[in-house]
Amino acid sequence: MDFNVQRINQEQTHNADGYQEQHNFSEQDQHGLYKAIFNRRDVRGQFLPKAIPKQILSRILYAAHHAPSVGFMQPWDFIIIQSPEVKNKIHQDFTLAHQEAQAMFDNDKQSKYKNLKLEGIIESPINVCITCDRERTGKTVIGRTHMKEMDLYSSVCAVQNFWLAARTEGVGVGWVSILHHDALRKTLSLPDNIVPIAYLCLGYVSHFKEKPELETANWLPRRPIDELVSFDAWGKSASNSDEKSLIAQLQSDEKFPHSFTDKK
């Protein structure tokens, strides 16, 4: 399964100026990236007990490690959880938080909420907690002098890389966020300067769903993208032909990503 490594090593060469020689991606390479993005799902219920080979897990972790980070902080750590005791403890915390959450929804949504499966902590063979070390490279960080949240965002970018790499490997990922911060900190013995960013369930799956589960369950619809785009200031709609043609393009491309998710 070292195909990527081999192929990429042969293909990717660099010139003397420190530039990437492969400036342009092939159509097939572009296709692979878009396919990963549109087929990634938040997996809760389809995990298989099959072990994930270390070669695959290594690639997924490297993908996360090559996320962007503010000031090249690389503030992330990866806690890999396979112990049944730790998983059970996390699951207990989820159960408590989930019960608290139920009570927060109005009556009509409450019964729907109860029927949703929202985690695969026990069934997934591996759980991974991705964290952010807020003090990793000292007090002053390039790019974080004015927006202090940038280190947290760097770790989130690592989560997204992790998730996309897993999808291309046929490995499902589910992000569990119905947990108390304090309980998670305690179970994983996190020091004060370490923020838990994402608690992820990881494993091979019987299938990936066509659409996000909350879309299929009619919890909320996919928003039309042209309503999310404005120009030069908040809420300012297209006012010249250039801007109007982008909106028209977005509208005509609507079937592009949906072709991954809509039933035909």
Stretch 208-227 residues interacting with a copy of itself (CB under 8 A)? 208-212, 214-216, 219-220, 222-223, 225
Considering only residues 107 through 146, tell me which ones interact with a copy of itself, judged by CB under 8 A: 109, 113, 116, 118, 131, 137, 140, 142-146
Report the residue number, 64 or 123, with the smaller CB distance to a copy of itself: 64
Nearest-approach distance from CB 245 to a copy of itself, in angstroms: 5
Amino acid at 262: D
Report the residue number, 103 or 123, with the smaller CB distance to a copy of itself: 103
Q: Is 59 in the site for a copy of itself (CB under 8 A)?
A: yes
Q: How far is C-alpha 123 from the chain's CA centre? A: 20
Q: Is 207 in the site for a copy of itself (CB under 8 A)?
A: yes
Let me know: does 174 contact 167? Beta carbons within 8 Å: no
Q: Looking at 47, 91, 163, 202, which residue binds a copy of itself (CB under 8 A)?
A: 163
For residue 132, the SS3 value is strand
Q: Looking at 107, 108, 115, 191, which residue binds a copy of itself (CB under 8 A)?
A: 191
**Residues 6+ positions from 46 with CB-CB distance below 8 Å:** 120, 172, 205, 206, 207, 208, 209
Considering only residues 75 through 114, tell me which ones interact with a copy of itself, judged by CB under 8 A: 76-83, 86, 97, 100-101, 104-106, 109, 113
Runs of H (alpha helix) within 77-149: 84-102, 107-114
Q: Is 74 in the site for a copy of itself (CB under 8 A)?
A: yes
- Secondary structure letter of residue 236 according to DSSP: P
Nearest-approach distance from CB 135 to a copy of itself, in angstroms: 14
Cα–Cα distance between 101 and 114 in angstroms, integer? 10
- The angle that helices 107-114 and 84-102 make with each other, rounded to 10 degrees, is 160
Longest dimension (CA), the chain: 65
Q: Is 29 in the site for a copy of itself (CB under 8 A)?
A: yes
Q: Is 25 in the site for a copy of itself (CB under 8 A)?
A: yes
